[in-house]
A = this chain, B = another copy of it.
C-alpha cells in the first residue's frame, strides 16, 4: 500500500509505502529536514506540520486524525507500560520497560500541547498511513551554510603523482605486428625513460587501440606514479588537473587544481548532503547502526553523489569534463572517511574507538563510483585515531608543526575539538568532546553560520544595551531596526558570553548575577535564567532571541573540554606552554580570538602568536595532491603522532571541572588583563 506525501513549501512529492516515516520520505525526496538524533525521537529538531486542505487527489485519508490516533495510541501504550513497570520486579525486564517508556516520553516531551494542537509533530515519529501534505517550518529546514572554505596559500614543491607524456610511435606492419600496449611501452622507455613495463589500467587499455590510430600513432599518455598508464589521448595534450576535497561533516569543499602549477582553477563547495541523515557525526553513525549495511551504503552513495556534483561543477567552470580530472585526494574526519569508503563507522563511535584503518588508501575512481577519469586514482589521507581523522592529518601537512622548532598547539574546532601539540621532536594529539555548542548546536537559538545568523555581539557594561551584527548585513543593529535575525551562530555565542561576563551579567561559575535588575535579564517560561540578545522586533522570528543559562552551560562544557585537553596535553608533552597557537577550521576563522580568551577557550598566550590557518584540512589535501612525497610524509606523521586518550587520564574529570570556570584561573591569564579593564578583572576574581 503506497501513499502520496507532498512537502511544502518545496512542493516535492512522492509515493511511499505505509509505515515509512515522514523523515524517510523527506530524505528520499531530498527535502532537507534537520535531524540530529538519528531518528530517535529525542532531538526535537525535525518538527513538521501536518497540513490538510486543497489536497488535489481523491481518496485522501484524514492525516490529522491519523496523527492524533498515533498520539492517542502512544498515550495508551504509555499507560500500559506504566502499569507493567509498577508490577515488574527489579531486573532486566523492568529496565527494558523503563527504556521503552523513556523513548515514548521523549517523543512527546519535544512537543508542547500547543504544538500538538497545531498538528506539529516530529517527522521521525510520524508514519505514513495515508496521503499527507507536510509543511516544513523554516526552523526545521536545513539551509545552505555560508561556506568560507577558501583555499589558503600553499608552499610546496610541485611533484604530482600524475604526469602526462607525449610519444610518437612507429605503426605496426606485417613485419612488426607487435601489440599496441607493448609498442607504447617501448616508446615510453625510449623517449621518457619509463622503466619496468608500466601496467595499464583496464579502461586505458580499452581506449588504447583507437587512440593510437586516431592521430597517426601520436598520443599523450597519462601516467600514475610513472608505473601505471591511466589514459591514452590522441595527439598532444598539456592540461593535467586534479581535485582535492575536504569532506567536512557540514561542508564539502573541492579545489580543482592544475597539477603542473598547483594553482587552484576552481573552488566548489556544498553542504554535505549527508546532513539530511543527521547533522553531526554521531547521528550518522547511529543511522548506520540502525539501518545496517544498507544504511551505510545509502550514506556512502550520498557523499559520492555530492563529490560527483562538485567534480562536475568545478570541471565545468574551466570548460572541462569531470573525466578530465586525473586524480583526487580526499580528507575528512574518521567517520566521514569510513563512510566514504563504506567501512562500518559503528566501532569508531564507541570505546575503544578503534578505526577500521589508519593508513592512507588508494582506490580506483570507477570502483568507488567517483566520476573523474575512470582509471584515475583516489587517494584518501591517513587518519591518526578514532577521533583524529584525515582532516587533521591535512592540517598537519599544511601547518607543518612536525617541521618546526617552536612548540605549536594546533586546534581544529568542530563538533569535536582536535588538538595536536608538539614540534619536530614529538607530536601528541587528542580529541575532546566539545559538542556542537561552539557551532551553535544544542543552543536554544543556535543556528549555523548562514544568512540571518547573528555573528557578532557587543554588550554595553553600563546600560546592558546590546548591539549585534547579522550575516549578510554590513551594519550593526541599533535597537530599533528589524535585523531579520534568525538565530545566533557559534562566533556570536562566544562573543555574547564573553560580553555578558565582562558586563557582569554572568559570574565566573556561569551563574547569572542575581543582583542585576534589567529587562534583558529575566527568567523564561520554564523558569530558566536568560539574557535577551535581540528583541522580537529585531528578529525574523516572532520572539526574542536569548542566551539561557543552559546555553552558557553548554559553552562552559565545550570550552572546558578544550581547555582541560590542552592542559593535559602540555603535561603529557612535559612543557609549561606552547610557542604558537594555530586555529584551524572555518569556524575558527570567525571567532574573535580575544573574546575566546576572555571565556577561557584555550590556555593563556600572546594573542600575537595566534594564527587562524583557515581550512588547513583542505590545504593539506591540495598539498598531497600536487606533491606525491607528501603522501608518504602524511603516513609517517599519522603514525608518529601519539594519541592521548583523555578518558584514561586520572585527573581528567577534576581538570575538566575546573576548566569549566569562566574564565578559568583568571590570574593565570596575564594577557586577558590587557583586554579587560584592570579594575573589572580584579573585581571578577573576587566574584
Using CB atoms and an 8 Å cutoff, list the residues of chain A in contact with chain B: 172-183, 197, 200, 202, 205-206, 208-210, 213, 341-344, 346-347, 351-359, 361, 363-364, 366-368, 383, 385-386, 643, 645, 647-648
Taken together as a complex, chains A and B put the C-alpha atoms of A83 and B386 apart, in Å, by 83
Is the Cβ of A177 less than 8 Å from the Cβ of B643?
Answer: yes
Is the Cβ of B356 less than 8 Å from the Cβ of A209?
Answer: yes
This chain: copies in complex: 2
Is the Cβ of A347 less than 8 Å from the Cβ of B213?
Answer: yes
Besides the known contacts A179-B359, A180-B347, 16 further A-B residue pairs in the complex with CB atoms under 8 A apart: A172-B352, A174-B648, A179-B358, A180-B355, A180-B356, A200-B357, A202-B363, A205-B343, A205-B357, A205-B361, A206-B342, A206-B343, A208-B343, A213-B347, A364-B364, A366-B367
Instruction: Identify the interface centre among A205, A210, A643, A647: most chain B CB within 10 Å of its CB.
Output: A205
Taken together as a complex, chains A and B put the C-alpha atoms of A174 and B645 apart, in Å, by 7
Asked, given contacts A202-B367, A341-B202, A367-B364, whether A173 binds B352 with beta carbons under 8 Å apart, the answer is: yes
Taken together as a complex, chains A and B put the C-alpha atoms of A352 and B205 apart, in Å, by 19
Residues of chain B contacted by A346 (CB below 8 angstroms)? 209
Is the Cβ of B172 less than 8 Å from the Cβ of A354?
Answer: yes
Instruction: Identify the interface centre among A347, A352, A354, A367: most chain B CB within 10 Å of its CB.
Output: A354
Q: Which of B173, B176, B179 contacts A356 (CB 8 A)?
A: B179
Residues of chain B contacted by A648 (CB below 8 angstroms)? 174-175
Is the Cβ of B179 less than 8 Å from the Cβ of A355?
Answer: yes
Q: Which of B175, B209, B347, B361 contacts A343 (CB 8 A)?
A: B209
Of all chain B residues, the one with the shortest Cβ separation from A206 is B342
Residues of chain B contacted by A344 (CB below 8 angstroms)? 206, 209-210
Q: Which of B341, B342, B359 contacts A182 (CB 8 A)?
A: B359
Taken together as a complex, chains A and B put the C-alpha atoms of A113 and B569 apart, in Å, by 97
Asked, given contacts A174-B351, A344-B209, A648-B175, whether A368 binds B181 with beta carbons under 8 Å apart, the answer is: no
Taken together as a complex, chains A and B put the C-alpha atoms of A456 and B358 apart, in Å, by 68
Residues of chain B contacted by A200 (CB below 8 angstroms)? 357
Residues of chain B contacted by A176 (CB below 8 angstroms)? 352
Residues of chain B contacted by A213 (CB below 8 angstroms)? 347
What are 29 A-B residue pairs whose CB atoms fall within 8 Å in the complex? A172-B352, A173-B352, A174-B351, A174-B353, A174-B645, A174-B648, A176-B352, A177-B352, A177-B353, A177-B354, A178-B358, A179-B356, A179-B383, A180-B347, A180-B355, A181-B357, A182-B357, A183-B354, A202-B342, A202-B363, A205-B343, A205-B357, A205-B361, A206-B341, A208-B357, A209-B343, A209-B346, A213-B347, A364-B364
Taken together as a complex, chains A and B put the C-alpha atoms of A181 and B643 apart, in Å, by 17
Residues of chain B contacted by A367 (CB below 8 angstroms)? 202, 364, 366-367
Instruction: Identify the interface centre among A180, A366, A368: most chain B CB within 10 Å of its CB.
Output: A180
Instruction: Identify the interface centre among A175, A180, A209, A363: most chain B CB within 10 Å of its CB.
Output: A209
Residues of chain B contacted by A353 (CB below 8 angstroms)? 174, 177
Taken together as a complex, chains A and B put the C-alpha atoms of A206 and B356 apart, in Å, by 8
Top 10 nearest A-B pairs (CB, nearest first) are: A181-B357, A172-B354, A179-B355, A179-B358, A177-B352, A174-B352, A206-B342, A172-B352, A177-B354, A209-B356
Taken together as a complex, chains A and B put the C-alpha atoms of A673 and B235 apart, in Å, by 63
Of all chain B residues, the one with the shortest Cβ separation from A176 is B352
Separation in Å of the A129 CB from the closest CB of chain B? 35
Is the Cβ of B356 less than 8 Å from the Cβ of A177?
Answer: no
Of all chain B residues, the one with the shortest Cβ separation from A181 is B357
Separation in Å of the A132 CB from the closest CB of chain B? 37
Separation in Å of the A614 CB from the closest CB of chain B? 29
Separation in Å of the A407 CB from the closest CB of chain B? 25
Residues of chain B contacted by A205 (CB below 8 angstroms)? 341, 343, 356-357, 361
Residues of chain B contacted by A364 (CB below 8 angstroms)? 364, 367
Residues of chain B contacted by A209 (CB below 8 angstroms)? 343-344, 346-347, 356
Residues of chain B contacted by A386 (CB below 8 angstroms)? 177
Residues of chain B contacted by A355 (CB below 8 angstroms)? 179-180
Taken together as a complex, chains A and B put the C-alpha atoms of A647 and B173 apart, in Å, by 12
Q: Which of B175, B342, B358 contacts A181 (CB 8 A)?
A: B358
Separation in Å of the A344 CB from the closest CB of chain B? 5
Residues of chain B contacted by A343 (CB below 8 angstroms)? 205-206, 208-209
Residues of chain B contacted by A179 (CB below 8 angstroms)? 354-359, 383
Of all chain B residues, the one with the shortest Cβ separation from A338 is B209
Residues of chain B contacted by A354 (CB below 8 angstroms)? 172, 177-180, 183
Taken together as a complex, chains A and B put the C-alpha atoms of A102 and B412 apart, in Å, by 77
Asked, given contacts A182-B357, A209-B347, whether A385 binds B177 with beta carbons under 8 Å apart, the answer is: yes
Separation in Å of the A230 CB from the closest CB of chain B? 14
Taken together as a complex, chains A and B put the C-alpha atoms of A363 and B366 apart, in Å, by 13
Q: Which of B177, B357, B366, B645 contacts A177 (CB 8 A)?
A: B645
Separation in Å of the A303 CB from the closest CB of chain B? 15
Residues of chain B contacted by A356 (CB below 8 angstroms)? 179-181, 205, 208-209
Separation in Å of the A170 CB from the closest CB of chain B? 11
Residues of chain B contacted by A206 (CB below 8 angstroms)? 341-344
Residues of chain B contacted by A208 (CB below 8 angstroms)? 343, 356-357
Separation in Å of the A203 CB from the closest CB of chain B? 9
Of all chain B residues, the one with the shortest Cβ separation from A344 is B209
Taken together as a complex, chains A and B put the C-alpha atoms of A352 and B178 apart, in Å, by 9
Taken together as a complex, chains A and B put the C-alpha atoms of A200 and B354 apart, in Å, by 17
Taken together as a complex, chains A and B put the C-alpha atoms of A618 and B341 apart, in Å, by 38
Of all chain B residues, the one with the shortest Cβ separation from A180 is B356
Taken together as a complex, chains A and B put the C-alpha atoms of A498 and B625 apart, in Å, by 71
Of all chain B residues, the one with the shortest Cβ separation from A334 is B179
Asked, given contacts A177-B643, A209-B344, whether A202 binds B368 with beta carbons under 8 Å apart, the answer is: yes
Separation in Å of the A200 CB from the closest CB of chain B? 7
Taken together as a complex, chains A and B put the C-alpha atoms of A282 and B280 apart, in Å, by 59
Taken together as a complex, chains A and B put the C-alpha atoms of A110 and B342 apart, in Å, by 58
Residues of chain B contacted by A363 (CB below 8 angstroms)? 202
Separation in Å of the A299 CB from the closest CB of chain B? 13
Of all chain B residues, the one with the shortest Cβ separation from A643 is B177
Taken together as a complex, chains A and B put the C-alpha atoms of A643 and B179 apart, in Å, by 12
Taken together as a complex, chains A and B put the C-alpha atoms of A353 and B176 apart, in Å, by 10
